[in-house]
Amino acid sequence: MNKTGDKRYQLTNLETGQASELEAHAGTLGPAVLDIGAVGRDHGLFTYDPGFMATAATASRITYIDGDAGMLLYRGYPIEQLAEHSSFLEVAYLLLKGELPVAGELASFTRSIGEHTMLNESLLRLYGGFHHDAHPMAMVAAIVASMSAFYHDTTNIYDEHHREIFAHRIIAKIPTIAAAAYKHALGQPFVYPRNDLDYCSNLLHMFFAVPCDAYHPDPLHAQALDLLFILHADHEQNASTSTVRLAGSTGCNPYAAISAGVSALWGPAHGGANEAVLEMLEAIGDVSQVPAFLDRVKDRKGGVRLMGFGHRVYKNFDPRAKIIRAMCHQVLERLGHSDNPMFELALKLEEIALQDEYFVSRKLYPNVDFYSGIIYRALGIPQSMFTVMFAIARTVGWVAHWQEMIADPAMKIGRPRQLYLGATRRDYRPLEQR
Ligand code: ACO
């Protein structure tokens, strides 16, 4: 903990007068966090914070978000600068190692990722156990979890070398795993990775190549994907990353922890929102239907939400949404889809919602998922794969957080407490007496 700027508070039991001192630790940025150790130790109380609205579960040096300012930093670097100047693998290196690589480091990291792209053939056969209409996220979660049964040289979490190979292996193989899920759903043969291609061109190749035809990934498509991956690579203690940390804190194998993250990401309140946004836009259908749709959202009876809007931390524009919206204009224009009706509808929906008192008063702005699906669709990625694309990029963040946690000598198993509201002690009665 950074001791500079720490502040002291007092917790007093107003009935007994018992007082304890609590310390608020200052970080390098953002609000200080109150060390509540004395709450339990001196007063026998637990704290209650459903949804972790104000609870820091860990200290971290990876990513910082200022939700009011709409600021996102990876290892201190603003997302806007990384989006403009960096590449996904360079950002991956930065998130994992803490510093931007020099040329030799980036070349060697890129080479290592390229060397680990293939999947064990037995793992590929596991896809055959899934029905063709299985959601690809179900397949990805299962295959990632199964990796622990294949790559034993990376499962000793206390060995730094194992952790390093694990990181490279999962980042290298997650596009292969995703593409194989897509090919299985289509009933097409798996396409093996090509290590002469960059990360995103290889992904496109594995998605869209077929054995009977030549396929040349479009550099424009690969570039757009690379940018989307940079924007999705990490987001501090979000639900899926916290899931990876919690699962990993038990000492489980790292593939199991990442698989838990994939499952958490799938939910529509989290990474599943990119798929849900397109479903919503399709259901709205036309700009003329936007007011009626927003009335249903505001009515709140049917549980309808404006998908791709709102965020737990951002109470201002999500900086990633700003970048993606601008990118949407460019990508659609360059791909010859400048009159894309889905994008027109999304722009109109955003414009109307941002003038509506319901959304303004609740500080609800477009988040990263509002526009990403429109770009994925323009690149030919099917809707059912949108959340998988998110998972590919976020794997880097999950691994960085898992590594940070495991390397911390103060790591403890994550074990929350509860406010119990169930039955008090009672005695069992045999069936005939109930
Ligand atoms: N549409 C309509 N109303 C909303 C929305 C929305 N998208 N989001 C929040 N609200 C309303 C809530 O009803 C609530 O209103 P109230 O105070 O009158 O009860 C208020 O805004 C606060 O919302 P909460 O749900 O309490 O906020 P929370 O921080 O728990 O949820 C979340 C954040 C889950 C992202 C939410 O905004 C949401 O469901 N958004 C839509 C799904 C989505 O886009 N998820 C992707 C998030 S980004 C990511 O994970 C990659």
- The pLDDT tens digits for 308-332 are 999 999 998 899 999 998 888 888 8
Mean of pLDDT values over 299-310:
90
- Residues in contact with ligand 1 (CB, 6 Å cut-off): 51, 269-271, 273, 297, 305-312, 362, 364, 367-369
Q: Is 75 within 8 Å of 98 (Cβ atoms)?
A: yes
Mean of pLDDT values over 218-247:
96
Is 216 marked active-site?
no
* Distance (Å, whole) CA 104 – CA 69: 36
Mean of pLDDT values over 80-109:
98
* Distance (Å, whole) CA 125 – CA 109: 29
* Bridge partner list, 23: 8, 35
Local structure of 236: helix, strand or coil: coil
Residue scoring higher pLDDT (152 or 146): 146
Q: Is 182 within 8 Å of 205 (Cβ atoms)?
A: no
Active-site choice (116, 205, 311, 401): 311
pLDDT of residue 338: 73
pTM value is 0.93
Is 311 marked active-site?
yes
- Measuring from atom 50 of ligand 1, which residue has the nearest CA? 270
Per-residue confidence at 2, pLDDT binned at 50, 70, 90? Answer: very low
pLDDT of residue 410: 87
Strand order across the beta sheet in which 77-78 lies:
63-66, 71-74, 77-78
Number of H helices, E strands in the chain: 18, 6
- The alpha-helical segments, DSSP class H, found in 266-318 are 273-284, 290-299
Please compute, for residue 187, the number of CA atoms within 13 A of its CA located in the half-sphere on the CB side: 3
Compute CA distances 402 → 58, 59, 96, 163, whole Å: 12, 13, 10, 10
pLDDT of residue 178: 98
CA atoms 219, 223, 224, 229: torsion sign: positive
User: DSSP letters along 69-92, please?
Assistant: TTEEEETTEEHHHHHHH--HHHHH
Name the E strands within 19-103: 19-25, 33-35, 63-66, 71-74, 77-78
Active-site choice (168, 184, 369, 401): 369
Q: What is the largest CA-CA distance in the chain?
A: 81
Compute CA distances 28 → 2, 32, 33, 37, 408, whole Å: 7, 9, 12, 22, 18
Residues constituting the chain: 434
In this structure, what token pair is assigned to residue 411? 């790591």
Q: Is 244 within 8 Å of 391 (Cβ atoms)?
A: no
- Measuring from atom 36 of ligand 1, which residue has the nearest CA? 310
74 CA distance to ligand 1 centroid (A)?
A: 24
312 CA distance to ligand 1 centroid (A)?
A: 7
pLDDT of residue 336: 78
Per-residue confidence at 4, pLDDT binned at 50, 70, 90? Answer: low
Who's near 367: CB < 8 A, 6+ residues apart? 273, 308, 309, 310, 311, 314, 318, 320, 321
* Mutation probe of ligand 1 site: the residue of 72, 356, 367, 369 with most atoms within 8 A of C-beta: 367
Instruction: Give the N- to C-terminal CA distance of the chain in Å, as an integer.
Output: 56
- Measuring from atom 24 of ligand 1, which residue has the nearest CA? 312
Mean pLDDT of the chain: 94
How many C-beta atoms surround the C-beta of residue 432 within 10 A? 5
- Measuring from atom 3 of ligand 1, which residue has the nearest CA? 305
Comparing C-alpha atoms, which of 158, 154, 124 is closest to residue 139?
Answer: 124
364 CA distance to ligand 1 centroid (A)?
A: 8
State residue 302 phi and psi, 5-degree precision: -85, 5
Mean of pLDDT values over 251-259:
97
How many C-beta atoms surround the C-beta of residue 140 within 10 A? 27
pLDDT of residue 154: 80
Whether 107 has a pLDDT exceeding 90, the answer reads yes
How many C-beta atoms surround the C-beta of residue 52 within 10 A? 13
pLDDT of residue 329: 85
Q: Using one digit for the tens of pLDDT, what is the confidence trace for 336-390?
A: 777 788 888 999 999 999 999 999 999 999 999 999 989 999 899 999 999 999 9
Residue scoring higher pLDDT (220 or 247): 247
Nearest atom in ligand 1 to the alpha carbon of residue 308 is 44
52 CA distance to ligand 1 centroid (A)?
A: 15
Comparing C-alpha atoms, which of 112, 79, 379 is closest to residue 230?
Answer: 79
Mean of pLDDT values over 39-44:
93
The single-letter code of the amino acid at 205 is H
**Per 3-state DSSP, what percentage of the chain is helix, strand, and coil (rounded to 5)?**
55, 5, 40
Nearest atom in ligand 1 to the alpha carbon of residue 239 is 50
In this structure, what token pair is assigned to residue 126? 């596991």
Q: Is 339 within 8 Å of 386 (Cβ atoms)?
A: no
Q: Using one digit for the tens of pLDDT, what is the confidence trace for 183-192?
A: 999 999 999 9
Whether 1 has a pLDDT exceeding 60, the answer reads no
pLDDT of residue 3: 59
311 CA distance to ligand 1 centroid (A)?
A: 6
How many C-beta atoms surround the C-beta of residue 198 within 10 A? 17
